[in-house]
Chain A
Amino acid sequence: MGREPATMADSDAAAVAGRFGSLMLRSDSDLPSVRRAIHQILDGYGVQGGKVRVTPWSIQLATNRGRVLYADRIKSRSRNLGRLRQLGALSRAVTSGQLRGAPLWESLQAVAVMADPYPAWLRTAAASIAAGGIALLTVSTLDVFWSVVALATATQAFASLLAPRWLKHLTAGAVAMLGALFLTRLDPGLDPRVIAAGGVVPFVPGILSESITADLLAADLISTAGRVAETVCAAAPLAAGVLLVDWLVTSK
């Protein structure tokens, strides 16, 4: 004991646990779950102690004396519950000692390159129907539902043509407001603000507000601040797009 650098077993355990953590963060898992999975895997390898630093954008595993055994930066995240489910099953297999070595790395690689189970058009349609459902929860009329479904499809179609996220959201907001104004011309009974709000639902960072509180409850202030900034960066361009069109139309 008392030796530094860490043993081979520690390095292996850190590499596996770190890779798990990275994949979980890429799938937009919450931080307490990532930390718990890392601990479980290290426990499964019979390794305890050390330092684990996890933020929504980075992961680092080190010995207590500061020797870094694993580090990764997370450039993009998208919620993928199918991948998280596979990782959960793998984590249980590692913890129980059923899966180690090369088969484990092959399984991890397979999870990393897992194909999306649904085609893009189906995800667009699903997001539009979900937006319609949420609008229906607010205003219980079917014409609102269909208007929002149509508008959400249009906003996603336009936004998918653009690359930076802020521009995508700005365009989505503008298209949603334009579409809402057009639809209210056709049916004066509709409220343009409700329809526009429904049209941008697929872009609204709703789940982030729950993640912010979860991070806050876990006393993770850096992640909380980061997620707040992320929410503002996602929601502000949407609102700006809506307001821009509203201002252009009403000022004439």
Chain B
Amino acid sequence: MPRVVAMSEPPVLIPHAPGTNRDTEAAAAVAAAGGDPRIEPVADLAPADFSGYAAVLLPGGFSYGDALGAGGRLALELQAWFGAELREFARSGKPILGICNGFQALVKSGLLGCRNFTLAANAGGRFECRWVTVRVEGDCRSGWLEPLRDSLIRCPVAHGEGRLAAADPTAAAELERAGRVAFRYLASGSSGGAAGVAGGAYPANPNGSVNDIAGMCDPSGAVVGLMPHPEDHIVDWQRPSGPAGARGSALFEAFVEAAR
């Protein structure tokens, strides 16, 4: 049954698969940005009808234990059960955001339009939790990220399989050319200029991602995914140290704004 959409507080669907675990923080970030987060178990979502929602947020965690590769099982369900609905959702311009495990699932399901990329094991060979700085790329084609262009976000990463890897050397260049790189890891302490990228160096680029890419968007710009967790930096006391600002809350404000 489609819900009545109250545009003052756009309803944001947060699907919860077994093993999803950053759903409550994502919901808190959405609520703080003026949205109406609704965490729904995947079991209750089929058959898919997302017409009552203004945005979809796929949160972090270990869906199905990542037993067949990070996000792989969830990707299968996104495709098999929700694929048509999500594609239509994005085509109508409604924003879809995948964070960490949600990003992995978006990539592997093809919903980000980049089957020539994957998220592989971190270059360091193990799970890594640390704060990073990412820049929202100025030439990113995503319309709803526009208010954030060239701004910085500081927030933690926490993943074992976050290395963006391309099938061939030209794939990354094509992604860049198409304006689909949305977030890039910066060197620590960098204020964002062109020279400030991590340059592949650990730990600023915590996983060895190609071209320091931390997140990307689909060709339409409506679907956005990233490995770091902006939802873990929406108030100042969450930040370990360093200057004020660069909160992840700005990303959720743009996300909710696009859903209005």
Is chain B a partner of chain A in the same complex? no
Chain B positions within 8 Å of A, measured between CB atoms, are: none
Chain A residues packing against B (C-beta within 8 Å): none
